[in-house]
Amino acid sequence: MKNWMIASALGLALSGSMLGGSALADTVFGKRPALKDVVKISALLDQPEQYLNKEIKVEGIATDVCSMRGCWMKIQSDRKKESLLIKVNDGEMVFPMSARGKNTVIQGKLVKRTIPVNEVIELEKARAEKAGKKFDPASVKGPRTVYMFKPSGVVIAD
C-alpha cells in the first residue's frame, strides 16, 4: 500500500513536469485566454479606436495592482513609460498584490470612458494629496477620455 502511494505521488509529479509544470502553477482568473495572436500594448495605445470593443489578447509584466480591492492592474507596455490599465468591477476578479513583476496574459476588450470634470478634479486632488503637492481645480480644463481593458480572462505566470 505504501509503495502504491509513493508510486502515485511520483506519477503525478512526473506528469506535471511533462505537461509544462509551470502552466499548472499559473493563476487564472475567468477563462484562460485562448486567442493565438497577441496585440502589442504600444499598438493598442497608438490606435485605441481601432481596437475598441474587439476581443483581443495582450501580454506584459504587471507593474501595479489595486491594494484595496484588487480591481485593477497596470501592465507594462513593450515601450518604456507606458502601461495599460486592466479594470474589472469590484469582486469580479481580485488581482493579488503578488502579481507585481510577473508576466501576465490578458484576453478581453478595450473600452473607452469619458470621465466628467468633477470626477477628474477629485482624482487629481487625491493624486496631489498622496504626492504631498498642491492642487488647483482650475487646472482641469474639461472631461478626460481614458481607455481601459476589460478582461474576460487573465493568466498570471508563477
Residue 129 belongs to domain spanning: 26-156
45-61 pLDDT, tens per residue?
999 999 999 999 999 99
**How confident is the model over 14-34, as a mean pLDDT?**
68
Q: What is the pLDDT of residue 23?
A: 54
User: How does residue 24 score in pLDDT terms, banded at 50, 70 and 90?
Assistant: low
In DSSP terms, 62 is beta-bridged to: 75
Domain presence at residue 65:
yes
Reduced to 3 states (helix: H, G, I; strand: E, B; else coil), residue 38 is: coil
**How confident is the model over 5-26, as a mean pLDDT?**
46
CATH code for position 63: 2.40.50.140
Domain presence at residue 1:
no
Domain presence at residue 20:
no
109-152 pLDDT, tens per residue?
999 999 999 999 999 999 899 899 999 999 999 999 999 999 99
Q: Measured between alpha carbons, how far is 29 from 139 in angstroms, rounded to an integer?
A: 39
Domain presence at residue 85:
yes
Based on the structure, what is the number of domains in the chain? 1
Domain presence at residue 3:
no
Question: Which DSSP category does 52 fall into?
Answer: B
Domain presence at residue 19:
no
In DSSP terms, 72 is beta-bridged to: 87
Q: What is the pLDDT of residue 158?
A: 86
**How confident is the model over 96-102, as a mean pLDDT?**
95
Domain presence at residue 13:
no
Higher per-residue pLDDT: 25 or 67: 67
Q: Measured between alpha carbons, how far is 152 from 31 in angstroms, rounded to an integer?
A: 6
The amino acid present at 11, given as its one-letter code, is G
